[in-house]
Amino acid sequence: MMDKKKICLVIASPLTIHFFLLGQIEALARKYDLTVITNTDDPGFLEYLGVSVRVIPVGIERKVSLWRDLSALVRLVLVFSLQRFDLVHSLSPKSGLLAMVAAWIARVPVRVHTFQGEVWATRKGLWRAFLKMLDKVVVRLANHLLVVSSSEEEFLIEQRVVSHGQLKMLAHGSICGVDLSRFKPDPVSRNQIRTLFGIPEADMVVLYVGRLNIDKGVLDLAEAFNRIVADYRSTHLLLVGPDEEGVKEKIKQRYGSDCPWMHFADYTAVPEQYMAASDILCLPSYREGFGLVLIEAAAIGIPTIGSRIYGITDAIVDAETGLLFTVGSVDDLTEKMRCLIVDPTLRRRLGEHGRVRAYQDFSKELVLSELLKYYESLLSA
């Protein structure tokens, strides 16, 4: 029997693995000698999740830190040189830069990076130019590039980060597709979550799921909801996700710490339960590679609202599976929320169409099948 090819996934955050990549990692581990590199103090964390894969901790952090980034780079070069991987694949901006530099130095033959939202898209001036230049370094050092949406590909070409033909998208896009066995209507979870927060069954729930930070547009969402609730007192906003920038406190200071219509939940391993309890999902992000949470909500059958930016325009078909609003416009966001709150027929129609699209185009099986074919083509070349 031939030895399995050795591949390595480099992912900065264990949360990304937990939310999106467990299924892919399980499938890849069955076919390849797989190693995962991530920023964790617990190399056994995948074992607790039922996945038996070698994990190597490396301190890859989101924020720029010259000393820590240099230390992580040296560590990656050493690991890649010793392990002699056949393929290294990075899946986030910081890990992409460090992994592609290290893999190039260590002469890893197949170097793959996935673009999934550019941190410089919302920046200006010299900082934007510098971060953009780093992505160009990644493009130069990787010999294969993936992208999670067609509109992100167009953006990267327009910004002259890549050329036509350099990027490949798996299936219809997204990083991993949707687990349709998890994301489906669930009356039991709907009742449990609403009971937990004291929300009556007849009330309307607008949901946000993701990191609580400024770039995700969470403050815009809170402002729009504050306007909505003045007219529709039976409406609730449920914000679910880890608070990275003290956003929760800012919202409470601005709108009152005892607002009975606004609810918070920290990190959850079961976002599908919160979606099942909701009537509308909103992603008002300023930058997004795809916005998988929108397809997950669609699979459950709830309509979505998203900002009209690259990435999200692939996840929402405007006026068919959800509504798009002008990014950064609280007025437009408020109006789109109002449209869905007052029109149950529109909510039902968008939700039904979104569910059909999620099942047809974005199942995790479809994306995984394409990924396995892609790896096979790279490793057999």
Pick the closest to residue 99 from 75, 117, 116 (CA basis). 75
- Say what percent of the chain tops pLDDT 90: 88
46-55, 230-239, 315-324: least confident range: 46-55
pLDDT of residue 66: 86
pLDDT of residue 107: 98
pLDDT at 257 over 80: no
pLDDT at 1 over 60: no
Tell me the pLDDT of the chain averaged across its residues.
Answer: 95
pLDDT of residue 267: 85
Q: Find the mean pLDDT for residues 222-250.
A: 93
Rounded Cα distance, 230 and 41, in Å: 45
The 10s digit of each residue's pLDDT in 320-329 is 999 999 999 9
Confidence bin at 255 (pLDDT 50/70/90): confident
Helix, strand, coil % in the chain, rounded to nearest 5: 50, 15, 35
pLDDT of residue 155: 97
pLDDT of residue 2: 64
- Domain limits, the chain: 6-177+364-379, 187-361
> Residue for token digits 């076919």?
31
Token pair in block for residue 185:
């209507």
Topology of domain 187-361 in CATH is Rossmann fold (3.40.50)
Q: Find the mean pLDDT for residues 282-292.
A: 96
pLDDT at 260 over 60: yes
Residue 254 or residue 272, greater confidence: 272
Pick the closest to residue 302 from 288, 285, 287, 316 (CA basis). 316
The 10s digit of each residue's pLDDT in 52-106 is 999 999 999 878 788 999 999 999 999 999 999 999 999 988 899 999 999 999 9
CATH code: domain 6-177+364-379 is: 3.40.50.2000
Sequence-distant (≥ 6) Cβ neighbours of residue 38 within 8 angstroms: 10, 11, 12, 13, 14, 17, 55, 57, 58, 60
Q: Find the mean pLDDT for residues 211-237.
A: 94
End-to-end CA distance of the chain: 20
pLDDT of residue 326: 98
The 10s digit of each residue's pLDDT in 31-41 is 999 999 999 99
pLDDT at 179 over 90: yes
**Do 187-361 and 6-177+364-379 fall under one CATH topology?**
yes
Sequence-distant (≥ 6) Cβ neighbours of residue 225 within 8 angstroms: 206, 235, 237, 261, 262, 337
pLDDT of residue 336: 98
Rounded Cα distance, 226 and 17, in Å: 34
